[in-house]
């Protein structure tokens, strides 16, 4: 590994003569990018999601009750969070105790301990978790009461036995971090078990294709969905997941193809590894995608018939409440639950003791709070790794407890906001309960700017 | 022994038929998935398929299924154990994700035949269109005629035998699957290369041609496999991983 070395200067520099004017166009991040590109001749691959500043749910606020609205007592009166998904065609729709679900993440990107932790936490909270590009593990199926089985372009480990064990199927067309792109699990994360599940040699970089091998357009997709329904005897719901780009059209096509549930993943959504240029420069924010997806369902008169799950940068109970108020039926969370497990934390848990991981972050050339090195397989806190030593840094008992706590906290926040809006059911939250704090958010979310009735782009304004 | 219409089935019947002019695809597949209904059944015949999609998908039983005519997309998808024969042509993605058993197409197959197949044998007695064997993961495919462009794209494991010609971009981005071609290869895809035949290759070809029912001389085939130069995305780069 070659590190830049400090240049020796023959003469001391007189700092009083230096101009330290910053450049907006050539910021320190841009300089680092250019210097890195010049050195290696390759783009950067990394994990997690977009880091750029984007309009998001923080730019919305609730108009809770006052004289014109009647609130529910926050600590006494019941507010239901029951959520039903997949009522359109499936004989056995998914019934959850909360609208907060766990997004698809692969065994391979994550360790078996992490997958088990997620399954156990989801089960305790009465929600669902989702497989990923590595297929279904026994640990995950065993620990998850409600498990969604993804059908991805790579079809790594995909088989009809696991398909029939699933509680729902998610046909993945794209994801918010890299819509239109595939994935890459770099060789350093391919241990013998991962290699076997994916039918590839150990240590080989595994490309996850960007297109499905057996269908192309939406007309084929409709037939493909019927194949999956026939194989599972029309028992379980089928979701279609799209990365947020042309969301209005994509949601309409997903509905036409026969989806029970549409999952829309905004550009803040995470990944285990893809090109930085993809993560930061493709797709639209989750806020805008939610508005377009709801609009598509309403225009087809399918709202309530086809359920909508929104994902991509959902972090808190407030985010969940705002997504539901905008029209989502549920949300899916990926990065947030990884952070609950320790992602970007300065320490990991050994029993009840905290152990510093700072040295391992530094060895990766990063620090807690800045790490996105999921692709290396050297996760300092044992979340995104297959390393036999590192993976022990997440133990299922502690991991499940932390994820459950996080989900529980969000669920409490969600009901707190709903009650304050006078709702006894979180699904009764509505757009009328929201305003936007910025012009950009007002335009993207289709909500009035706070203190005005102005929705940019509506009625010629 | 003649097949009897499934609606007129008796306890002693071992061969039943579904006439798709009166029965639905749903009824056919539900029957094929139900161990109780399949008890004692050795063969199921599908009459008048008329290009219907999704016939005999997700079967996981050691029975013979005869499809008497042309059929549509995803025929015998995800097959396990069953021996399925189509007496006609098929649309896209026949035997996609096949796990075991045998699927035989007496006519020609459209695109993506055997896509992502994990095991078992797919035989296409006529030609197969483009992307035959795409992403295959351990199944065997024998094509009596020619295959279209980009066949065996990103194929991970298994063997594909082409008795005729292969279209452009054969074996692009191959992993560990091996392709045998008897006729002309219009072009090889990225990282695919012709390699010398070995005794193991001749033995494999003898086995596969025998199972498929072709009597070509194994010595008339060429071997195509991965050059393995794409196995690591940035092998020459100084990445700080």
Instruction: Report the C-alpha gap between A453 and A223 in whole angstroms.
Output: 45
Instruction: Tell me if chain A has a CB within 8 Å of the CB of B211.
Output: no
Q: Note whether residue A369 is domain-resident.
A: yes
Q: Note whether residue A8 is domain-resident.
A: no
Query: In degrees to the nearest 10, what's the CA dihedral of A268, A273, A278, A279?
Result: 20
Average pLDDT, chain A: 92
pLDDT for residue A255 is more than 60 = yes
Is the CB of B57 less than 8 angstroms away from the CB of A230? yes
Closest CB from A158, A207, A223 relative to B54: A223
* Residue range B137-151: mean pLDDT, rounded: 98
Instruction: Tell me if chain A has a CB within 8 Å of the CB of B165.
Output: no
Show residues of chain A in contact with B138, CB under 8 Å: 199
Which stretches does DSSP call E strand in A383-445?
A: 434-436
**pLDDT tens digit string along A48-77?**
989 899 999 999 999 999 999 999 988 889
**pLDDT tens digit string along A425-454?**
999 999 999 999 999 999 999 999 999 999
Task: Supply B128's token pair.
Answer: 């197969």
Please give the residue that has the higher pLDDT: either A275 or B86.
B86
Q: What's the DSSP call for residue A105? A: -
Closest CB from B77, B116, B175 relative to A200: B175
CATH classification of the domain holding A185: 3.20.20.70
Give the best residue of A44, A199, A209 to mutate against chain B (max B CB count within 10 A).
A199
Neighbours of A417 (CB within 10 A): 24
Q: Note whether residue A409 is domain-resident.
A: yes
pLDDT for residue A146 is more than 90 = yes
Is the CB of B112 less than 8 angstroms away from the CB of A213? yes
Interface predicted TM-score (ipTM): 0.95
pLDDT for residue A368 is more than 60 = yes
Give the best residue of B80, B137, B227 to mutate against chain A (max A CB count within 10 A).
B137
Instruction: Tell me if chain B has a CB within 8 Å of the CB of A188.
Output: yes
Q: Note whether residue A430 is domain-resident.
A: yes
| Cβ contact A333:A311 at 8 Å | yes
Query: In degrees to the nearest 10, what's the CA dihedral of A452, A456, A457, A458?
Result: -20
Q: Which of A256, A220, A259 is nearest to A90 (CA)?
A: A259
pLDDT for residue A184 is more than 80 = no
Q: Degrees (nearest 5) of the Cα angle A449, A453, A458?
A: 85
**A383: containing domain:** 57-445
Neighbours of A227 (CB within 10 A): 25
What is the pLDDT at residue B15? 93
pLDDT for residue B192 is more than 70 = yes
Average pLDDT, chain B: 94
Helix, coil or strand: residue A115: helix
Between 3.20.20.20, 2.160.20.60, 3.40.1260.10, 2.40.160.10, what CATH number should domain B51-226 receive?
2.160.20.60
Q: Note whether residue A191 is domain-resident.
A: yes
What is the pLDDT at residue B233? 64
Helices and strands in chain A, H and E counts: 14, 18
Instruction: Report the C-alpha gap between A391 and B85 in whole angstroms.
Output: 48
Percent of chain A exceeding pLDDT 90 equals: 74
Q: Which of B195, B151, B158 is nearest to B173 (CA)?
A: B151
Q: How far is CA B193 from CA A184, A296, B151, B228, in A?
A: 24, 48, 14, 10
| Cβ contact A202:B32 at 8 Å | no
* Residue range B6-21: mean pLDDT, rounded: 87
Instruction: Tell me if chain B has a CB within 8 Å of the CB of A223.
Output: yes
* Residue range A368-387: mean pLDDT, rounded: 90
pLDDT for residue A121 is more than 80 = yes
**Structural domain spans, chain B:** 51-226
pLDDT for residue A300 is more than 90 = yes
Instruction: Report the C-alpha gap between A233 and A231 in whole angstroms.
Output: 6
A402: left (phi over 0), alpha (psi -120 to 50) or beta: alpha
Number of domains in chain A: 1
* Residue range A167-179: mean pLDDT, rounded: 95
A330-333 and A100-102 as β-strands: parallel, antiparallel, unpaired?
A: parallel
Please give the residue that has the higher pLDDT: either A329 or A109.
A329
**pLDDT tens digit string along A416-427?**
999 999 999 999
């Amino acid at each position: 590994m070659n590190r830049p070395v400090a240049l020796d200067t023959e003469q001391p520099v007189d700092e009083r003569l230096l101009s330290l004017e910053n450049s907006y166009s050539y910021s320190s991040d841009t300089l680092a990018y250019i210097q890195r590109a010049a050195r290696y001749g390759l783009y950067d691959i990394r994990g997690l999601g977009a880091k750029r500043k984007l309009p998001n749910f923080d730019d919305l606020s609730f108009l809770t009750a006052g004289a014109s609205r009647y609130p529910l007592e926050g600590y006494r009166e019941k507010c239901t969070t029951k959520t039903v998904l997949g009522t359109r065609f499936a004989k056995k729709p998914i019934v959850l105790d909360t609208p907060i679900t766990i997004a698809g993440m692969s065994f391979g990107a994550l360790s078996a301990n992490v997958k088990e932790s997620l399954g156990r936490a989801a089960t305790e909270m009465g929600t669902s978790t989702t497989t990923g590009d590595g297929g279904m593990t026994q640990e995950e199926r065993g620990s998850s009461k409600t498990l969604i089985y993804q059908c991805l372009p790579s079809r790594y480990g995909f088989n009809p036995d696991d398909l029939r064990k699933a509680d729902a199927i998610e046909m993945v067309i794209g994801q918010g971090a890299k819509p239109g792109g595939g994935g890459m699990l770099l060789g350093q994360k391919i241990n013998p078990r991962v290699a076997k599940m994916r039918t590839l040699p150990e240590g080989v970089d595994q490309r996850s294709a960007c297109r499905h091998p057996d269908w192309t357009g939406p007309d084929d997709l409709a037939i493909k969905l019927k194949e999956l329904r026939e194989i599972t005897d029309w028992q379980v719901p089928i979701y279609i997941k799209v990365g947020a780009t042309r969301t209005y059209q994509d949601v309409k096509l997903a509905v036409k193809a026969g989806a029970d549930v549409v999952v829309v993943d905004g550009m803040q959504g995470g990944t285990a590894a893809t090109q930085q240029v993809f993560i930061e420069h493709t797709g639209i924010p989750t806020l805008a995608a939610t508005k377009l997806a709801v609009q598509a369902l309403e225009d087809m008169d399918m709202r309530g018939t086809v359920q909508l799950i929104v994902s991509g940068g959902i972090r808190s109970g407030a985010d969940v409440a705002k997504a539901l108020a905008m029209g989502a039926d549920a949300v899916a969370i990926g990065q947030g639950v990884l952070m609950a497990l320790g992602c970007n934390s300065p320490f990991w848990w050994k029993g009840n003791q905290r152990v510093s991981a700072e040295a391992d972050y530094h060895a990766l050339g990063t620090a807690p709070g800045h790490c996105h090195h999921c692709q290396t397989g050297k996760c300092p806190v044992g979340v995104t790794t297959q390393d036999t030593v590192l993976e022990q840094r997440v133990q299922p008992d502690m991991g499940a407890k932390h994820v459950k706590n996080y989900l529980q906290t969000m669920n409490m926040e969600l009901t707190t906001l709903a009650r304050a809006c006078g709702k006894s059911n979180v699904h009764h939250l509505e757009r009328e309960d929201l305003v936007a704090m910025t012009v950009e958010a007002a335009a993207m979310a289709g909500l009035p700017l706070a203190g005005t009735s102005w929705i940019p782009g509506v009625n010629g304004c | 022994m003649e097949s009897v219409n499934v609606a007129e089935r008796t306890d002693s019947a071992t061969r039943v038929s579904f006439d798709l002019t009166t029965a639905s695809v749903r009824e056919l597949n539900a029957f094929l998935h139900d161990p109780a209904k399949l008890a004692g059944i050795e063969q199921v015949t599908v009459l008048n398929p008329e290009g219907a999609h999704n016939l005999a998908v997700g079967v996981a039983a050691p029975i013979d299924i005869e499809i008497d005519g042309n059929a549509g997309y995803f025929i015998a998808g995800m097959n396990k154990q069953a021996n399925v024969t189509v007496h006609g042509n098929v649309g896209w993605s026949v035997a996609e994700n096949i796990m075991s058993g045998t699927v035989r197409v007496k006519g020609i197959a459209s695109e993506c035949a055997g896509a992502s197949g994990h095991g078992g044998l797919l035989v296409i007695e006529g030609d197969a269109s483009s992307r035959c064997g795409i992403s295959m993961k351990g199944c065997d495919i024998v094509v009596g005629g020619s295959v279209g462009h980009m066949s065996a794209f990103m194929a991970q494991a298994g063997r594909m035998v082409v008795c005729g010609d292969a279209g452009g971009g054969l074996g692009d981005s191959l992993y560990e699957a091996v392709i045998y071609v008897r006729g002309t290869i219009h072009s090889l895809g990225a990282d695919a290369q012709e390699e010398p035949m070995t005794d193991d290759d001749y033995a494999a070809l003898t086995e596969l041609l025998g199972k498929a029912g072709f009597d070509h001389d194994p010595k008339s085939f060429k071997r195509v496999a991965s050059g393995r130069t794409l196995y690591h995305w940035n092998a020459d780069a100084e990445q700080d991983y």
